[in-house]
Amino acid sequence: MEEIDFKVAPESKIKKRPSYIKPWLGLKYLFKKPVTIKIPYEKTQIAKNYRGFHSLDWKKCIGCNFCGQICPARAIEMTWIEVDGKVEKRPHPKIDYGRCTFCEFCVDVCPTGALGFVENFMLTTEWKDEELELFDWVPIHPDKLREINEKFPDYRFPVGKIEFNKETKEVTYYLRDGDVFKFKILGYGVRPPAAAKPKPAAPKAEEAKKVKKPEEKKGQKSEENSS
Amino acid sequence: MVSQSELIKEARENGMELLPLDKDTYELFFGPQHMATENFSIILKMDGHRVVKAIANPGFLHRGFEKLAELRPWYTNIALLLRICVPEPDVPEMIYSMAVDELMGWEVPERAQWIRTTVLEMARVSAYLFWIMGLSFKLGVYTAGQWAAAYRERFMALFEELTGARVYHIYTIPGGVRRDIPGDKWLRQLKDTVEYIKSKLPDFDNLVFENYITHRRMEGIGVMDKKFALAEGVTGPNLRATGVPYDVRRMDPYLLYPELDFEVPVLKEGDALARALIRRYELEQDLYILEQLLEMGPPSGPYKVQDPRLKNLPRFKVPAGDAFAHVESTKGDFGAYVVSTGGNKPYRVQIRGPSIAHGIRVLEQLLVGARIADVPVILMSLDNCPPDIDR
Ligand code: SF4
Ligand code: SF4
């Protein structure tokens, strides 16, 4: 063995002497205040940037699928959406919380800053299928999320119930503050479905706040990893 | 009543093999639902209350990370690989990031190095507290376990503030870290926490490490000698308890460790008590390291490398080559071997968890001759971590 040129602790410092009496000193906490938090009555303070559920600015999202490519759990699927009879020009990410690891890599990678996150982390359902729909959503606008958070500061999922009509493909969000939000899902994937006419018009990259990227036009089709 | 030999004969005529029962020993299965084994199981052949033969039976947590890592882009793998070590998830992030840094030829900025060192040490302290919890639960000293869990909570809160998550803080990335330090308030909080836990260490001594019962419970069980430990590839505190002064932070320094002053504890006995005392002393040293780091203060500068290649993360490519990086975790020498063929996904990522050495072969041999009550204690004194065996 090569010679040692680092400090090795002397044995006398490491070794402890057994004692009969010392364990009794643990009793000193018997009359101190416990450190527990009584959860339904007291609230915990969540850190400001706690990685929780996503928010999506539908106006800003350009459907580049960067978030879908970086996602380690492949929880993101591009979704073609129709709101109020109008087809969105670009697909938006749909996030499956059954798989999401809350790494927020998708938020870091989003070139336009459309995808964000809030501190909310509580989402509990029963085993029923209609309740499990909650785990699969296209995130809503950050302002709306914040509004709901101000009303109900309990870090719960902002949507109370999601209904998905299998025939008409209509999704209804019953938000917790009573609002109802409806849209239709036309198809999945990066390529536009037949229902949504392909629009080869130039993408609205001007909306991008951050640095413009040449890659975000087209060309990620070949590297799509979902569907 | 048919005699046994007749039964064997009859079975053989029908093309079957009937083995005679071993009537002297009985088989005991310490399964994954047992409180002491944590998703790991040992098949014990017992003679009375002594173990005659032990067979470790891991694999309940095999999630195939190394295969999954081949299918994901370089950055994304961080969120995957850190799940290999549950008590200190920063270590797999760190080794993977260090290996990718080496492949990229990046010089990690000083501020990032400081943050990385601090995060590693915080992870070590919380992992040791977690270990104290496990050990005291297995020894039956529940009070100390509850304390350790409560103090670990303080570190979890600090991690939450820094990284945004409590346990799996997907924080260290190739080329630095993901977020900057939240501010001076956080540094003050860390300082307070370190001081607080330091003041609480004598409590643990009183209850666990200087307790007469604990000493009687752990003295002389699971004795491992130097030659055996070296031959089996045991690392970390388990190796240091056999009298080998080996610590990756000193032998192959990384990050800011060369500038830090700390002592490496070494004992000669190699029994469960020595391993426990070594961990106890390292907890103290880690708190001392954190104090030094806070005194140094984070240098100013960027917290991750500035590289135009980072602009397009999904198609971020790493030059061809291979790299190995290892750090000292609380369980031992944790290493990652990364091979790149120049694509946007790793060709192969191999993680060498320390428990693979001391959790299977060594455990099987240490358990021979042990009493049944010592089995959980030996298991915990080795600090066996099933996820890094199975991966
Ligand atoms: S990365 Fe951002 S802009 Fe691109 S599809 Fe995802 S949310 Fe939309
Ligand atoms: S936060 Fe969830 S959806 Fe986003 S990249 Fe991570 S796993 Fe995927």
> Looking at the predicted structure, is the pLDDT value of residue B72 above 70?
yes
Record the pTM: 0.84
pLDDT of residue B298: 85
Nearest ligand to the C-alpha atom of residue B170: 2
Provide the residue range defining the domain that includes B89: 65-390
* B290 φ/ψ angles, rounded to the nearest 5 degrees: -60, -40
**Considering only alpha carbons, which residue of chain A is nearest residue B214?**
A18
Q: How far is A182 from chain B (nearest CA, A)?
A: 32
Whether domain A48-157 has CATH 3.30.70.3270: yes
How far apart CA B345 and CA B198 sit, in angstroms, is 43
**Shortest-distance Cα residue to atom 6 of ligand 1:** A67
Structure tokens at B139: 């020894």
From residue B142, give the alpha-carbon distance in Å to each of A145, B147, B199, B348. Answer: 43, 9, 20, 43
Q: Average of pLDDT values for B195-204?
A: 89
Domain edges within chain A? 48-157
pLDDT of residue A215: 44
From the CA of A107, how far away is ligand 1's center (Å)? 8
pLDDT of residue A197: 54
B107, B110, B115, B117: CA torsion to nearest 10: 70
Residue B99, judged by CB atoms within 10 A of its CB (0-12, 13-18, 19+), counts as buried
Residues in contact with A42: Cβ distance below 8 Å, sequence separation at least 6, in sequence order: none
Which ligand 2 atom sits closest to the C-alpha of A67?
5
Same domain as B162, residue B112: yes
Give the residue carrying structure tokens 């990066």. A190
**Shortest-distance Cα residue to atom 6 of ligand 2:** A103
Taking CB atoms and an 8 Å cutoff, what residues of chain A touch B315? 69, 215, 223
Answer yes or no: are the C-beta atoms of A159 and A180 closer than 8 Å: no
Q: Average of pLDDT values for B71-82?
A: 87
From residue B390, give the alpha-carbon distance in Å to each of A178, B40, B97. Answer: 48, 9, 21
> Looking at the predicted structure, is the pLDDT value of residue B325 above 80?
yes
B373 pLDDT band, cuts 50/70/90, is confident
How far apart CA B298 and CA B226 sit, in angstroms, is 40
CATH number, domain at B126? 1.10.645.10
A215 touches chain B (CB under 8 A): yes
A208 pLDDT band, cuts 50/70/90, is very low
Of residues A4, A104, A215, nearest to B245 (C-beta)? A4
Same domain as B263, residue B208: yes
Q: Average of pLDDT values for A65-87?
A: 85
Cβ-based contacts under 8 A for chains A and B: 128
Any idea what DSSP says for residue A29?
G
Q: Is A183 in the pocket of ligand 1 (CB under 6 A)?
A: no
Domain boundary pick from B19, B36, B57: B57
How far apart CA B94 and CA B332 sit, in angstroms, is 14
Name the nearest CA neighbour of B250 among B297, B277, B285, B220.
Answer: B285
Q: DSSP letters along B315-373, please?
A: G----SEEEEEEEE-SSSEEEEEEEE-SSSS-SEEEEE-THHHHTTHHHHHHTTT-BTT
Q: Helices in chain B by DSSP H: which ranges?
A: 4-13, 65-69, 77-81, 90-104, 110-139, 142-163, 184-204, 212-218, 226-232, 237-240, 248-251, 272-296, 355-358, 361-366, 374-381, 386-390
Same domain as B247, residue B333: yes
How far apart CA A201 and CA A62 sit, in angstroms, is 13
Q: Inter-chain contact A18–B216, Cβ cutoff 8 Å?
A: yes
Q: Is A103 in the pocket of ligand 2 (CB under 6 A)?
A: yes
pLDDT of residue A195: 60
Q: Is A105 in the pocket of ligand 2 (CB under 6 A)?
A: yes
A182 pLDDT band, cuts 50/70/90, is confident
Q: How far is B170 from chain A (nearest CA, A)?
A: 6
Q: Tell me the per-residue pLDDT of A114-127, one tens digit each, with 9 for 90 and over.
A: 888 888 888 888 88
Mean pLDDT for chain B overall: 87
pLDDT of residue B303: 85
Q: Inter-chain contact B178–A108, Cβ cutoff 8 Å?
A: yes
Structure tokens at A226: 């979902």
Q: Is A148 in the pocket of ligand 1 (CB under 6 A)?
A: no
- Overall number of domains in chain B: 2
Same domain as B102, residue B195: yes
Q: Average of pLDDT values for B251-267?
A: 86
B345 pLDDT band, cuts 50/70/90, is confident
How far apart CA B8 and CA B337 sit, in angstroms, is 52
Q: Inter-chain contact A18–B212, Cβ cutoff 8 Å?
A: yes
Same domain as B274, residue B229: yes
Q: Is A56 in the pocket of ligand 2 (CB under 6 A)?
A: no
Q: How far is B362 from chain A (nearest CA, A)?
A: 22
**Considering only alpha carbons, which residue of chain B is nearest residue A71?**
B76
> Looking at the predicted structure, is the pLDDT value of residue B336 above 60?
yes
**Considering only alpha carbons, which residue of chain B is nearest residue A73?**
B80
From residue B10, give the alpha-carbon distance in Å to each of B1, B21, B22, B23, B216. Answer: 14, 16, 19, 21, 52
> Looking at the predicted structure, is the pLDDT value of residue A220 above 50?
no
How far apart CA B267 and CA B27 sit, in angstroms, is 35
> Looking at the predicted structure, is the pLDDT value of residue A226 above 60?
no
> Looking at the predicted structure, is the pLDDT value of residue B264 above 80?
yes
Taking CB atoms and an 8 Å cutoff, what residues of chain B touch A51? 164-165
Nearest ligand to the C-alpha atom of residue B313: 1
Q: Average of pLDDT values for B223-241?
A: 87
B206 touches chain A (CB under 8 A): yes
Q: Is A65 in the pocket of ligand 1 (CB under 6 A)?
A: yes
